[in-house]
Amino acid sequence: MAGTRPTTAMSGWWLGLREALPLLGGYIPVAISFGLISTQAGFSTVETLVISTLIYAGASQFLFVGMAASGSPLWLTVALTLLINLRHLVYAPNLAPWLPQSRWWPWLMHGLTDQVFALAHIRLPQLPESQRVGWFFGAALLAWLSWIAGSLLGAVGGEWLTSRWPLLGEVMPFALPALFLVLVVPRFTSRRWAAALSISIAAALVCTLTGLTNIAIPLAAACGALCFYLIRLPTTHGPEAGGKP
C-alpha cells in the first residue's frame, strides 16, 4: 500500500530516536568534558564544534586537541587520531547483511560510533527491512546532535556546569554500561560464548584501568575472539562456532 511506507519509515525513525536515548547519558557528559578541554587548550567555540561535528569520535578528539595544543607535529597528530579510530573498520561489515538497499547508507556511516554500532548490531536484525534505514537515521542523528550540543555546552559553560552539578557528570555516564550490559547479556547463549565475552569484558576493563584506553576495545575484542577459537567447551544450548550468538 502506498500509504504504509511513510508511516513505517517514520515509526522506524521514531523508534531509533527513542532507543538511542540512553546514549545521551554517556554522550553529553563526555562531550561537555571535550568542549571544556578543547577551549582550555586554546580552540575557539566554533573550532570545537567543527571538530565534534566532522571528526565525531570521542577518544581521538581528546587526543587531537591535546596533541595540537602541545605543539606535536601535525602529521603525527592526524596519524594517531586515525590509528585510534581504526577499530571502526569492522563495524560496517558486521552490519552490512542487515542494511537494505538505500542511497542513504554511505552518508549515515558518519554516525557509526562504538555505541551506535553496539545498538544497531542488536536491533537491526530484529527490525523489519522497511524500518531499518529510518531506525539507523533516528538513532545516529540523535547521538550525533547530542555530541555536538554537549561540546557546545562544554565550550561555553563547561566550568560552570561541572562546578554546579558535579554529581550529574558522575551519575549519567552509567547509562552506557547499563545499556551495553543489556545488549551483551542475550549473547551469553552457550558456555563458549559466555567465556569469550567475559574475557573480552575483563580484558577491556583491565586495559582501561592500566591506562591503555585507546587500544582497549580492539585488544580486548581480539582476546575474546582468540578465546572463542581456542577453547572447546561443551555446549548448553544455542548456536556454536560460526553461528550468531
Partner 1 sequence: MSLELWIGTLVAALGTYLIRLLPLLWMQRRMKSSDRGEGPEAMPQWLVILGPMMIAAVLGVSLVPRTPDAAGWGATVIGLGVTLAVWWRTRSLGWPVVAGVLAFGGVVIAARMVV
Site for partner 1 in 19-78 (CB under 8 A): 19, 21-22, 25-26, 29, 43-44, 47, 50-51, 54-57, 60, 64, 68, 74, 77-78
* DSSP-H helix ranges across 185-231: 191-209, 213-230
**Nearest distance from residue 157's CB to partner 1, in Å?**
19
**Whole-angstrom Cα distance, residue 121 to residue 127?**
11
Interface with partner 1 by CB under 8 A: which range of 3-11, 99-107, 129-137, 146-154? 99-107
For residues 12, 151, 219, 229, the Cα torsion angle rounded to the nearest 10 degrees is: -10
Yes or no: say if 139 and 120 are a contact pair by the CB < 8 Å rule.
yes
**Whole-angstrom Cα distance, residue 88 to residue 1?**
38
Cell numbers found for residue 189? 547463549
**Nearest distance from residue 179's CB to partner 1, in Å?**
5
Question: Max Cα separation, the chain?
Answer: 60
Residue count, binding to partner 1 (CB under 8 A): 100
**Nearest distance from residue 5's CB to partner 1, in Å?**
22
| Burial of 162 per CB tally in 10 Å (0-12, 13-18, 19+) | middle
**Nearest distance from residue 8's CB to partner 1, in Å?**
20
Using the minimum distance from each CB to partner 1, give the nearer residue, 44 or 236. 44
Using the minimum distance from each CB to partner 1, give the nearer residue, 10 or 54. 54
Using the minimum distance from each CB to partner 1, give the nearer residue, 90 or 233. 90
Interface with partner 1 by CB under 8 A: which range of 1-9, 98-106, 130-138, 146-154? 98-106
Using the minimum distance from each CB to partner 1, give the nearer residue, 49 or 153. 49
Q: Which of 141, 154, 142 is nearest to 51 (CA)?
A: 154
Q: Which of 164, 185, 232, 237 binds partner 1 (CB under 8 A)?
A: 185
Contacts with 106 (C-beta within 8 Å, 6 or more apart), sequence order: none
Crossing angle, helix 175-184 and helix 21-40, to 10 degrees? 140
Q: Does 140 bind partner 1 (CB under 8 A)?
A: no
Q: Does 190 bind partner 1 (CB under 8 A)?
A: no
**Nearest distance from residue 181's CB to partner 1, in Å?**
5
**Nearest distance from residue 87's CB to partner 1, in Å?**
7
User: 42 — phi, psi (to 5°)?
Assistant: 105, 0
